[in-house]
Each structure stands twice: as C-alpha cells, then as structure tokens.
Structure 1
Amino acid sequence: MDAAPTSTTLAGPPGRPSKGWHRFANPGRFLRLTDRLLPWLWGLALVALVGGGLWGLVWSPPDWQQGETVRILYVHVPMAWLAMGGYVALGALSVISLVWRHPLADIAARELSPVGALVGALCLASGSIWGRPMWGTWWVWDARLTSVLVLFFFWAGHAALSRAFEDPERGGRAAAILALAGLVNLPIVKFSVDWWNTLHQPASVTRLAAPGLHVDILYPLLACTVAFSLLFAAVVLARVRAAVMERRVRSLEMAAARRLDTAS
C-alpha cells in the first residue's frame, strides 16, 4: 500500500525530482509521516486543552473591571489569532499551489479552509457574547469587527469555491487566487485599532516590552492559545490525511476499473 500512486493526481509534474517538500507528493510517504505524528499531536492537544482550560476558566482570577466575563478572553483571542495565522498558512499553500503546482498544497488548502471558517465564526460569536456586557450591544460596524467579518467571508468563500468545480484543479486554482486576494485584509485586521477609532481595545499581548495584561491572565491565555493551536493543527492534518486516502482509494478503483475494461 506504500508504493507510488497509480495516478498522477498526487504525483506532481512529471520528471520533477522528489526533493524538498515534493517528496510528500508521494501519498504513501505522507501517510507514514502522519501515522507517527497524529497520535502525538492529538495527545498533546488533549493534555494542553485540559490544562489550559482549567487554568483559564477555573484557576485564573476574575478581572478587576470585567469580572468573570473576562474568561471569554481565553477562547476569543486564540480564535482570532488562529483565524489570522491560519489564513497566512492558506496564503502560503496557495502560492505553492499556483507556482509549484504541488499536489498536496491544493488538498491541504481545501481541507484547511472549513476549519479556518469555523475558527473565524467562533471568533465572531465569542466576541459578540463578550461585547454585549462590555459595550451594551452585540455588534457594531467598527473597523476591527468588520474586517474580521470580511476575513470570515474569505475563509468561507475559499471553502465554497474550492468545491464548486467538478475538476478539483480548476477549483483549487480559483480558490488560491481568492485566498491571495484575502491577504490584503490581514493588515487591516491587525492595525485597524491603530488606524481608526473603534470600540475594540488596542493590542495588549503583542507589546512584548510592556504587555497590557497581568501575568495571572497572560499566562493562561498563552496556554489556551497553545492548546487551541495544537487542536487546530491536529484537525487540519487529520482532514488532509483523510482526503489523501480518499483520493488514493479512488485512484486505485479507477485503475482496477480500467484493467477490467481492458480484460473484457
């Protein structure tokens, strides 16, 4: 089962040497790698989620102004970071797909975007829940919230467009172009609180010299971020693995059907 694929679907451009990331175009090699990696990733994610969740939601103190509602921070902020960081990964996969035509890049981008869209939706939902007691409203059309909503639309648009064509390659190319266009929105999301007056607070954690959060809140926030990041990586890698296996089985079925047609 670990032999080279019988179809060029995952084999990459003909004649290209199997070097660098192109060696993972061999589905057998990729599946062997994920066989070893995924159990550790799931285990680390579970341990980190339990530890980070207890630290943030149970053991950390309430905020002196926001009280217990500050605990939404431990979900909302990691979701926001993952929505942005994941989109950077989507942009990188799109470049690899368009420039080098790496077969796994299309598959990875296709499986990444639904997870990214879910993360973006959780960011918006948790922010809305947090905004209601803090701002007195569920939603305002300020720069930060609107740009994050646009980011969610790019995530969802990529997920839909990559599946909108019968030919996966056409869908992958169209979705990759859309993903690259969406990269323009990331600086707007990041610097919107600096460029415009918004209800959203400015950066608190990325000011490394003087972070705006007390360590009693900062450390569990970072722990929750690591936990959600590990879970995000595990889910995406598991989806990519399942997609590779599905394409490989389909390729073997098509090869078997061709042999039967030839024999008959």
Structure 2
Amino acid sequence: MTRLARALPLILLALSYSTVSQQIADPNPDLWQSPDLGLGSGKTIGAALLEPFEDTYEVTVREPGKLSPATLHNCKEYLRVEDAIYDAGPAPASNSLNYVAARCNALHLLQSARPAVHPTFRDFDFRHLAVRNLPPGLALIIADEEQKNADRITRHGGSILDLEKDVSVRATRRDEADLATPEWTATLTVLARADFLNDGREELLIRRNAAAIGGTYRSTRIFLLSRKSSSESLKIERALP
C-alpha cells in the first residue's frame, strides 16, 4: 500500500471535520450588502478600501506638537487619519469628505462582520416601520444641549418623537426612508445586515444623510442598530464618524 493510500482516510476525515466546523461557525451564509457599497463583481473589501476617491481631499491633521497637511486619495488613507483630522476645508469639501467617509467606515466594519446566528433583521422593511420605533440618535443633532437631551431620552427608553415631535418618516423603498422636520431632512439607507458585534445577533448598518433646511450644514453618519425582536424599537449600538 502506498503512502498516499494509507493517508487517504485521514485526509478525508480532516476534510469532513473542516466542513462540519465551517457549518457550525457559519450557520447562516447569507450576509446582505447594499449595492451602494460598491462591492459588486467580486470586488473584495480590501480592494474597495484602496479604490481612488473621485476627488482627492486636502485636510489638516493633528500630529504631536503640530498640525500637518495631508492629501487623502482613498478609504485606507482616510481611516488611518480619521481621528486626527483637525480641519477638512470649506463646507463643500468637508461635506463631500463626510459622505465618502461614511462608506469607508461601513467597509471597515464589514471586514470583521460575520453572518448572524439569529437574523433579527431578515424581515426588516422601512415600509412597515413606525416612526415611534426610531431612536432619538437618528435625528440631526447640532448643538451640545440637543445631544444631552437625546442622551437623556435614550436612557429613559424614549423614541425620536420625544426629541422631534414633528418628525415624519416616509419609506421610498424597503431599505430606504426619508425623515423630515421643519428644521432638517434626512435619508436613511440600509447598507448591510450582519453580526457586527460578535454576539450572534444580526445588526443593521445604516447610513443617515441629513441636511439643515435653509442652511449649508450637512451630516452623513453610519449607525449600527440592534433589536431583540421584530416588534421592538431600534437601538443604536454605534455611530460613526
């Protein structure tokens, strides 16, 4: 009997064990991602992070004892200095960078995401969501006092209606909805569903693109939302940047 023949049963056993282990670790292979992330045609997250921006961004970053200029060409460069950015230039450039930065952060979060054991957002649909189930943190908050008020409402289990009584929500698609108040508007877009917190449960990764009415202030952020069941209100787990 050849060495290969003698080793064949062990090889088959190892392959079988590997397959079973993968099934145990990955019981739900479907990890939904929005086309907005630009990961179609087999593009990897690593490749997307290196993909050149449509425009380069000139920013000022904090370094020990000084401020230094930096030019950002892609998401990888942005993520490297994100926490050190001191100034992103005038409003048009700053707003533009803020928008592409949301995608950069979403891609970064997806790198460590995994399929969820408990897919609590598999049936999620903005068209069936009541505004009272939205958390206060999804509102466009500019002033520090507004943020303190939103934090207080969150601690007491309140909703966005306790912060913005005139807010309305209108679903434009299953994965997208518009929020509106007399002071600001926002669009919520689902970017991915996955286990981002390594807790076995599915979280919703959304982008909120908001703008003040009658002004130049804009804010694009991404949020990780959780819920224990489809009947519960949404809870913000993380907000970036």
What range describes the TM-score normalised by the shorter chain of this pair? Answer: under 0.3
Q: Does 1 or 2 have the higher relative contact order (CA < 8 Å, sep 6+)?
A: 1
The structure that is strand-richer by fraction is 2
Tell me the TM-score normalised to structure 1 length.
Answer: 0.25
